[in-house]
Every structure is written in structure tokens, then in C-alpha cells.
A and B are shown apart, each in its own frame.
Chain A
Amino acid sequence: MQQVFTKAMARNIFLGGAAFFLIIYLVLTYDTWQQIPVRDHADKMTPAVVAGRYLVDTNDCVGCHTINGEGAYFAPELDNVYKRRGAAFIKAWIRSQPTGVAGRRQMPHFNFSGQQLNDIVAYLKWLSNVDTNNWPPNIQG
């Protein structure tokens, strides 16, 4: 009997399958793009929020922490830290680092100005209001 399933057929399944699902993904992405600004209240991204996010990026916060579960698993989740700790605690905490307690995980000292701390808090506050399908499951992050 001749080969019923040839290499050409396998190749066509590969090319066709990849193209088909890529198109579906692009359509879904277009829809997601329309929904994201509503779900994350993009209209509330003030200049302070944007400045805060830039500080979070350029100080590699996700090198230890997670934001919405993404990052490193060395330090607590930041998505809901605003709700867990509040603005005053966050600012005081960042200012007092590192603790220097023997053996305890250390966070570097970043020399943020008062304005920069306010920006970071503004960003974390904005972050805590993103609709993440009720994640994290509780306040502990």
C-alpha cells in the first residue's frame, strides 16, 4: 500500500494550523485591546501613576517582587500591596530599607525623594484597582 499520510500533508497541517490559530489569536487580541482600558481604568493613569511605574521598572522591582504574579518569588506580591498595607506604611517601609536584620531578606535602599515615593504609591494604588478576575485570592497576595 502506498503511504497514506505523506510529508507534504504533515507540512500543510503545520502551516494551515499555525495560520488558522494565529488569525484567531489576532482577533482575540484586538478584542482584548478594546477591553483592557476599561478593566484597568486607564483613564485614571495620571502623570504620577506613569512616573511611579517608570520608577518601578527602572529599579527592577520585579527582580524580587511579583506584580500580578509575574516577576521573582523572593518578595511579596505588589498588585494588592496598597490595600494590604496602605500608603503611609509603604512609604515608611521603602525609606527604612535595608533592615539589616541578620539572615532576613534585604531590600536595597533606593534614595527616593518624597515626590518619587508619592508617585510609586499612586502607581500601586492604580494597580490595586485593575480587574484581575479576583486574583490574588486574598489580601496576603
Chain B
Amino acid sequence: MAQTRPLSPHLGIYRWQITMTLSILHRATGIALAVGTLLVIVALLALAAGPESYAKVQAFCVSPFGLFLLFGWSWSLCFHLCNGIRHLAWDAGWGFEIPRVYVTGWTVVIASLLTTIAIWLCVAMRGGAA
């Protein structure tokens, strides 16, 4: 059955488009953020448990691997938020024209990068947001 019907898209010869990239990235970042909820769970549990366990979470967060994860999750969060708003606009019936789809797509990419940079500038300036 699978062999008798044409398969689309033919990924091997398919021209790259930002639309397909953002589509799969929305899912990928969604999955990454779901995994990232583990840190939310662990951090809140540790905060409720006591100073010793909280110190362990803090130590993990400032370790190179912890920072790598936090940076990845922060961009995933910014991207999923921006592209999620784009999806909600589509759900409301706005923005389906092809040129507009491309403009909003690139806007999402740039906005997600700028917001991620803004978050880490706050971190770098220590206490900038506190």
C-alpha cells in the first residue's frame, strides 16, 4: 500500500523553504521545552526541600553543561513563544498570503534571537532585571 501511492514532499529534491524549517522547529522546540520542564520540577522541589538541595541545583545551572542547557531552553522558549503567536494569528485567519508568511517567518527568527540575547545580556550584567 505504501509503495503504490506517491509520497510527498520528495525531501531529496525539495527546495529549502523557511516555512518548513520553522514548522519543524516549532515541534522540536516544543519537545525540548517539555523536557526542560524537568528543570522547573527539580528547581521547585529543591527550593521546597532546603538550602542543601537548592545549592546542588544552583551548582548544576552554572556548570558548563547547565549553562548550555539553559541557553538552548531560553532560545527554544523565545522561538516557541514568537512562532506560537504567529500560529495564533493564522488561527485567527490573518497572514496566509505567501509574502506575509515569509515576512512573519523571518520576523520570528530575528525576534527569537534578539529576545534570547536580551535575556543573556541581563544575566551578563548580573542583577540587571532584579
A binds B: no
A residues contacting B by CB (< 8 A) are: none
B residues contacting A by CB (< 8 A) are: none
